[in-house]
């Protein structure tokens, strides 16, 4: 049900713009839902054209100072386990790619 709450928030925000034709949603690799699940839920709840843009995650390891893409060990429902690809430190600081964002709304 968590995915429904996130989808409804996006739908409510988009609906403020008028009669919707299409929305673009950015889904981070470390977001609460996988991109395909977010797309599936939005398509179930609307008749809009849904475009999903995947945002790669960026981390900063405080152990070795690596900055870049993490190794995602496990992606579950509302949780992620990831590590530094350089030193294998678990759960480094997330810099980007952990959000789900409504990026664009196209109205009729």
CATH number at 60 reads 3.30.2320.80
Share of the chain above pLDDT 70, in %: 98
100 within 8 A of 38, measured Cβ to Cβ: yes
4 within 8 A of 12, measured Cβ to Cβ: no
Q: Domain span at residue 80?
A: 2-107
Q: What is the pLDDT of residue 76?
A: 74
pLDDT tens figures, 76-106: 767 899 999 999 999 999 999 999 999 999 9
User: What is the dihedral angle through the alpha carbons of 22, 75, 77, 33, rounded to the nearest 10 degrees?
Assistant: -10
Q: Can you give the chain as a three-state secondary structure string? A: CHHHHHHHHHHHHHHCCCCEEEEEEEEECCCCCCHHHHHHHHHHHCCCEEEEEEECCEEECCCCCCEECCEEEEEECCEEEEECCCCCCECCEEEECCCEEEEEEEEC
Q: How many domains does the chain have?
A: 1
pTM above 0.85, yes or no: yes
pLDDT tens figures, 32-61: 888 999 999 999 999 999 999 999 999 999
């Amino acid at each position: 049900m968590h995915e429904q709450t996130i989808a409804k928030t996006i739908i409510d925000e988009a609906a403020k713009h008028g009669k919707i034709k299409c929305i673009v949603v950015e889904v981070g690799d470390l977001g609460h839902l996988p991109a395909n699940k977010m797309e599936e839920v939005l398509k179930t709840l609307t008749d809009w054209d849904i475009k999903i843009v995947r945002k790669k995650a960026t981390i900063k390891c405080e152990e070795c100072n690596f900055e870049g893409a993490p190794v995602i060990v496990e992606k579950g429902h509302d949780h992620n386990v990831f590590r530094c690809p350089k030193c294998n430190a678990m759960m480094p600081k997330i810099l980007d790619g952990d959000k789900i964002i409504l990026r664009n709304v196209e109205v009729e």
